[in-house]
Amino acid sequence: MKYSMVSIIIRNKDEANFIGHAIQSCIDHFHDPEIIIIDDKSTDDSDKVISLFDKTNINIYTLPKKYTPGYSLNYGVTKCNHDIILILSAHAQITNMNFKRVQMHLKNNNVAVFGNQVPIYRGKKISKRYIWSHFNQEEVLDMHSSIEQRYFLHNAFCFYEKSVLQNNPFDERLHGKEDRYWAKDMIDKHQHYIYDPLIEVNHYWTPRGATWKGIG
């Protein structure tokens, strides 16, 4: 089943080997998705890969200022036209989607819904260790990480309402973990977010991926 009315933000920096899989998975699971690609001055063949999807609603934007994770996402939000936004890693591939569950969670006053991630290291599924151990098979409200000793939310695969991100932008000063700091800010504001293992992506290893530190 394909779902509609979603804007998808994908941040890209030389992800030619993976971004085609990410885009194709969006097409496979959503009807006419609006895909917003925020490019950080890529020098590989990313543009050629993206151009293969010429019949897809894709818009590519180059950041007018220096990249930070939060700034790129906040900028992407300003380009989105739908009420629900999915932030998807350029090296993640959607494998299981139930958009009705996402909508249900958001209607139940959760400010964000993030899903399961299956780590794929050089083409092979690996055991979930380090950061990957957070992605289990139980639904969790306001996940707290015993590993990181803070609230845990992950922007490789996370849904938000556009209005929430407009009113609560990511911290543009940070050079990483903008999602965790955003989660803490929401908790401080007495808001809630939820992890749902029934929506899922494969998350592929890349030597530059911050999520993969400690593996590879």
pLDDT band at 151 (very low <50, low <70, confident <90, very high): very high
**Number of other CB atoms surrounding residue 81 within 10 Å:** 11
Average pLDDT over residues 17-27: 96
pLDDT tens per residue across span 93-121: 999 999 999 999 999 999 999 999 998 87
> CB under 8 Å to 182, separation ≥6 — which residues?
153, 168, 170, 171
Residue ranges covered by each domain of the chain: 7-206
Is the CB of residue 125 less than 8 Å from the CB of residue 134? no
> What is the pLDDT at residue 127?
60
> What is the pLDDT at residue 206?
79
Whether pTM exceeds 0.85 = yes
Query: Regarding the domain with residue range 7-206, which homologous superfamily does it belong to in the CATH classification?
Result: Spore Coat Polysaccharide Biosynthesis Protein SpsA; Chain A (3.90.550.10)
